[in-house]
C-alpha cells in the first residue's frame, strides 16, 4: 500500500514538474550527474559518501548507490549540494 502511494506521489510530482516546466531533479529529488570526459564527475543532490578510496567511490542518492570506479580518484569538492570526483574514471553506475 505504501509503495503504491509513493509511486502515486512521484507521478503527481512528475506531472507538476512537466506542467510548470520545473527541473525534474529538484521536484523529484533526483541526482543530477555531469561527466566531463573521463576526468571529472559531478553529482548534485546526493545524500552521503558511503565509501571512498583511490579506486572506488560510492555515493548514496535517492535512486540508490552510485558506484564510481577509476584510478587516483579524489573528492575534489564536497558541499551539501554537490560532490565532485576527479581522477581517471573507468566505470560508474547505480547499484540498486
What CATH number should be reported for the domain holding residue 69? 2.60.40.2000
The CA-CA-CA angle for residues 47, 49, 52, to 5°, reads: 165
18 and 45 housed in the same domain: no
4 and 46 housed in the same domain: no
Phi–psi pair at 48, nearest 5 degrees:
-165, 165
Cell 564510481: give the residue: 68
Q: How far is CA 52 from the centre of its chain?
A: 15
Q: Which domain holds residue 10?
A: 1-29
Q: How confident is the model at residue 1 (pLDDT cuts 50, 70, 90)?
A: very low
65 and 24 housed in the same domain: no
Distance CA 10, CA 71 (A): 37
**Which residue, among 31, 35, 26, has the nearest Cα to 66 in the 3D structure?**
31
Q: How confident is the model at residue 2 (pLDDT cuts 50, 70, 90)?
A: very low
Query: Does the predicted model carry a pTM greater than 0.85?
Result: no
Amino acid at each position: 500500500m505504501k509503495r503504491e502511494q509513493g509511486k502515486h506521489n512521484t507521478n503527481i510530482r512528475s506531472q507538476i514538474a512537466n506542467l510548470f516546466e520545473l527541473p525534474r531533479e529538484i521536484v523529484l529529488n533526483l541526482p543530477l550527474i555531469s561527466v566531463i570526459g573521463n576526468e571529472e564527475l559531478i553529482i548534485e543532490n546526493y545524500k552521503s559518501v558511503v565509501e571512498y578510496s583511490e579506486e572506488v567511490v560510492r555515493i548514496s542518492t535517492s535512486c540508490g548507490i552510485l558506484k564510481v570506479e577509476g584510478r587516483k580518484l579524489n573528492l575534489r569538492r564536497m558541499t551539501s549540494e554537490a560532490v565532485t570526483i576527479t581522477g581517471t574514471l573507468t566505470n560508474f553506475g547505480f547499484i540498486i
